[in-house]
Amino acid sequence: MLLGQFAVPMTPIELKKLLISAGFEVYRTLGNRVHLAERVRNNLLMDSNVSISCDQGLSVRLVVRAQSSDFPGESDDELLARARAQAAEARARGYVEVDSAMAPIHDPGDRSRRLDTWYEVSFELAVADQDQMVSEVRFALTLDKVASSGHRA
């Protein structure tokens, strides 16, 4: 599908329509960023670790993570390193780190109880046109975005 180059900045609504027409499932739109749905956990729940921004041109963002419960006893730095290692293939394509965060996961029935902590690292790649955006989104959706105990940092 040839989408061509964009001459004028896209609005989030235009971006969402473009992504849907390219066959992607939209999870939600927050500001100028459209988050795509990823079916995980036996196709029952959705996650969103890939998004596209139309803020200043187009860029594809990928969020990878390591969960502290999967690596007992490891430090914050070690867990962030595991998340960064998970994105090696994306970094080789030119994605650059733009953010890192620790996200506590609370018990939905008791917000005072922490179940886990996700160590997340965000990577982003500016794309030249809509064709490259679609290609990069397809690539990003194929990546395993959660570090597993079998993957060494």
pLDDT tens, position by position, 1-40:
334 444 457 899 999 999 999 999 898 999 999 999 886 5
pTM, to two decimals:
0.85
CATH of residue 33's domain is 3.30.1460
The answer to whether residue 150 is domain-embedded is: no
Whether 29 maps to a domain, the answer reads yes
Task: Confirm if 99 and 121 have CB atoms less than 8 A apart.
Answer: yes
| Reported confidence tier of residue 46, pLDDT bands at 50, 70, 90 | low
Q: How far apart are CA 12 and CA 33, in angstroms?
A: 7
Which pLDDT belongs to residue 39?
A: 67
102 found inside a domain? yes
How many domains does the chain fold into? 1
Determine the structural domain holding residue 16 and report its residue range.
12-142
Question: What is the Cα–Cα distance from 83 to 95, expressed in whole angstroms?
Answer: 14
Query: In the prediction, which pLDDT does 42 show?
Result: 56
Does residue 105 belong to any structural domain of this protein?
A: yes
